[in-house]
Amino acid sequence: MNQHAFVQPEPFTADQQNMLSDAISGLSAQRKTLPSKYFYDEEGSRIFDEITELSEYYPTRTEAEIMDLYGQEIASIAGERVLLVEYGSGSSAKTRILLDRLQNVAGYVPVDISGEYLYQVAENLQADYPNISVLPVVADFTDPFSLPRETDPAQRVIVYFPGSTIGNFTSSEARKILSQMADLCGSDGGVLIGVDLMKPVQLLLAAYNDSQGVTRRFNLNLLHRLNQELGADFDLRQFRHEAVFNPDESRIEMHLFSLQPQVVCLDGMRFRFTEGESILTEYSHKYTIDSFQKLAASAGLETQRIWTDPNRLFSVQYLTHAAQA
Residue 186 buriedness (CB in 10 A; 0-12 / 13-18 / 19+): exposed
Q: Rg for the chain (alpha carbons), in Å? A: 20
Angstrom distance (rounded) from CA 281 to CA 275: 18
**pLDDT of residue 1 exceeding 70:** no
Query: Among 307, 310, 305, which residue's Cα sits nearest to residue 77?
Result: 305
pLDDT digits (tens, 9 = 90+) for 209-254: 999 999 999 999 999 999 999 999 999 999 999 999 999 999 999 9
Angstrom distance (rounded) from CA 244 to CA 228: 28
pLDDT digits (tens, 9 = 90+) for 12-29: 888 899 999 999 999 999
**pLDDT of residue 111 exceeding 70:** yes
**pLDDT of residue 177 exceeding 90:** yes
- Reported confidence tier of residue 42, pLDDT bands at 50, 70, 90: confident
How many CB atoms lie under 10 A from the CB of residue 70? 17
**pLDDT of residue 2 exceeding 60:** no
If DSSP codes are grouped into helix, strand and coil, which group holds residue 242?
Answer: strand
- Reported confidence tier of residue 325, pLDDT bands at 50, 70, 90: very low
pLDDT of residue 15: 86
pLDDT of residue 40: 87
In DSSP notation, 267-301 reads: TTEEEEE-TT-EEEEEEEE-B-HHHHHHHHHHTTE
Angstrom distance (rounded) from CA 110 to CA 123: 11
How many CB atoms lie under 10 A from the CB of residue 172? 9
Angstrom distance (rounded) from CA 234 to CA 2: 7
Are the beta carbons of 282 and 36 closer than 8 angstroms? yes
Question: Which H helix or E strand runs over 252?
Answer: strand 251-258
Q: Where are the beta strands (DSSP E) in 53-147?
A: 82-87, 107-112, 137-138
Are the beta carbons of 259 and 239 closer than 8 angstroms? yes
If DSSP codes are grouped into helix, strand and coil, which group holds residue 256?
Answer: strand
pLDDT digits (tens, 9 = 90+) for 259-311: 999 999 999 999 999 999 999 999 999 999 999 999 999 999 999 999 999 99
**pLDDT of residue 95 exceeding 70:** yes
Q: Which residue has the higher pLDDT, 42 or 166?
A: 166
pLDDT of residue 9: 53
Query: Among 162, 6, 190, which residue's Cα sits nearest to residue 91?
Result: 162
pTM of the model: 0.88
Mean pLDDT across the chain: 92
- Reported confidence tier of residue 151, pLDDT bands at 50, 70, 90: low
Query: Averaged over 162-169, what is the pLDDT?
Result: 93
- In the CATH scheme, what is the homologous superfamily, with its name and number, of domain 58-143+150-199+288-324? Vaccinia Virus protein VP39 (3.40.50.150)
At residue 215, φ and ψ (nearest 5 deg) are -65, -30
Q: CA angle 278-282-288, nearest 5°?
A: 125
Angstrom distance (rounded) from CA 120 to CA 189: 28
